[in-house]
Amino acid sequence: MKKIAILYQDQPAPAINGITKPMKEGGYSDSGADIAYELSKYGFIVITPQASPNIENDLDWVFPDTEDGILAALNKGANTFWMNTVLYKHHPIHKFFDRNIKLIGQLPSDVELFDDKFYTNDLLKNQNVPIPKEQILSKGSNFHEIEEMQFPMVVKPLRGRGSQGVSKVENISELNTVLDDLFNAKKYGSSVYVEEFLEGQEITITVMPAGEYIIDHKEVEYVRPWCLPAVKRINHKNGIAPYSGEEAVIKNSMVLEDDELYSEAVFKISQLCRRAAEIIEIKAPIRIDCRANKEGKYFIFDINMKPNMTGASRPHRMDQDSLIMLAARKIGWEYIDLLKNIASQSWKVKSKVLA
């Protein structure tokens, strides 16, 4: 029987080759508490730090992803860990891989690898997955290094989250200003990612791992990754979708209407998202952001190995459906249905697996 503990990010992830990923305020404890509360409400055994957690206190519901936090959850009887945190190769969970535990989430070493936008997009490009023109710029770089790219372009962290720290620049002056700001702030590390700006529609596609699911009260088996319906992003600010940490996604996102959802262009990019998920061998949901050029052809521009999992569950957070939840509602799932189906994809940790 699953006894689930949800982990949140307690401290910043280590820098990787000089690139840092800033920690989200609260370390995803808010979405972790949403998950824990919803599961417990529907009869799942959820291990929590507090015997009687306060519905409004996030930290009553989730354990820190430290060695001590994981051990505390184990000592309370947890045998399944929902990795609602930023993962990396030597994450503390690795020290417990010799225990009889399961994970809900990705393999930590895979997250470290594929969180690098340039590495992942280059890998996909070599597999004939359409990716916008892109380049890495390091501190002290000269503009001639990206002369083959045209303005406008997008500047973003190499290991960012969503649209945090992302800017659209129209000319060399704006580019230099943004680069100076990013490097001087020392928030994202010594290099950034630059890509061509696509002026068409932006959509987000959630890809679920292969496995058995319950849809319309029937068991459905997927032998390869599969996609939830695409969600359209609207109300952009200077061409960039608002960061979910600053504006609830329900204010700027909606599932595509059926005529567009089942269009050839969306079908093609959905199949390519499935292919991308196969290439990186996902074990849990990922969120793939795509955008069309002026001819309407979609390109993959960002893969999120740890998508947001907030949900309209607790009374004070009824505006907090995530992009994944918006997509899930289109196939008839409520928040608990989404969580149940994700939890059913938990996988057994092998002690020799490198995290």
Give yes or no: residues 208 and 267 share one domain.
yes
Give yes or no: residues 58 and 174 share one domain.
no
pLDDT of residue 246: 74
CA torsion angle 255 259 264 270 (round to 10): 20
Give yes or no: residues 290 and 329 share one domain.
yes
Question: 196, 219, 246: which is the final residue of a domain?
Answer: 196
* Strand, helix or coil for residue 116: coil
Residues 80 and 103 sit within 8 Å (Cβ to Cβ): yes
Residues 287 and 208 sit within 8 Å (Cβ to Cβ): no
CATH of the domain at 245: 3.30.470.20
Residue 123 in domain: no
What tokens does 93 get?
Answer: 């969970």
Give yes or no: residues 259 and 221 share one domain.
yes
Whole-structure pTM value: 0.95
Structural domain span for residue 230: 202-343
CA 304 to chain centre: 3
Residues 186 and 204 sit within 8 Å (Cβ to Cβ): no
What is the C-alpha to C-alpha distance for residues 281 and 300, in angstroms, rounded to an integer?
17
Residue 125 in domain: no
Give yes or no: residues 188 and 211 share one domain.
no
Give yes or no: residues 337 and 229 share one domain.
yes
Residue 145 in domain: yes
Domain count of the fold of the chain: 3
Q: Given the structure tokens 């390109």, which residue do they identify?
A: 299
Residue 349 in domain: no
Give yes or no: residues 320 and 258 share one domain.
yes
What is the C-alpha to C-alpha distance for residues 348 and 246, in angstroms, rounded to an integer?
36
Classify the C-alpha dihedral 54-83-226-233 as positive or negative: positive
pLDDT of residue 160: 80
Give yes or no: residues 215 and 293 share one domain.
yes
CATH of the domain at 190: 3.30.1490.20
Residue 121 in domain: no
What is the C-alpha to C-alpha distance for residues 211 and 222, in angstroms, rounded to an integer?
5
**Pairing of the two strands 80-83 and 286-292:** unpaired
Give yes or no: residues 206 and 339 share one domain.
yes
Question: 166, 196, 226: which is the final residue of a domain?
Answer: 196
Give yes or no: residues 241 and 332 share one domain.
yes
Helices in 186-315 by DSSP H: which ranges?
A: 258-261, 264-279
What is the C-alpha to C-alpha distance for residues 285 and 282, in angstroms, rounded to an integer?
7
Give yes or no: residues 185 and 281 share one domain.
no
Residue 96 in domain: yes
pLDDT of residue 248: 83
Residue 298 in domain: yes
Question: 70, 91, 106: which is the final residue of a domain?
Answer: 106
What is the C-alpha to C-alpha distance for residues 19 and 119, in angstroms, rounded to an integer?
13
Q: In DSSP terms, which residues pair with 64 in a beta bridge? A: 8
pLDDT of residue 109: 96
CA 20 to chain centre: 16
pLDDT of the chain along its 355 residues, tens only?
999 999 999 999 999 988 988 899 999 999 999 999 999 999 999 999 999 999 999 999 999 999 999 999 999 999 999 999 999 999 999 999 999 999 999 999 999 999 999 999 999 999 999 999 999 988 876 555 566 688 999 999 998 877 888 999 999 899 989 988 888 878 888 889 999 999 999 999 999 999 999 999 999 999 999 999 999 999 999 999 887 767 889 899 999 999 999 999 999 999 999 999 999 999 999 999 999 999 999 999 999 999 999 999 999 999 999 999 999 999 999 999 999 999 999 999 875 554 4
**Pairing of the two strands 3-8 and 134-138:** unpaired
Q: Given the structure tokens 């190499």, which residue do they identify?
A: 158
Residue 228 in domain: yes
Q: In DSSP terms, which residues pair with 83 in a beta bridge? A: 7
Residues 311 and 328 sit within 8 Å (Cβ to Cβ): no
What is the C-alpha to C-alpha distance for residues 123 and 116, in angstroms, rounded to an integer?
11
Give yes or no: residues 81 and 190 share one domain.
no
Half-sphere exposure of residue 144: CA atoms within 13 angstroms, side-chain side = 0
Q: In DSSP terms, which residues pair with 104 in a beta bridge? A: 82
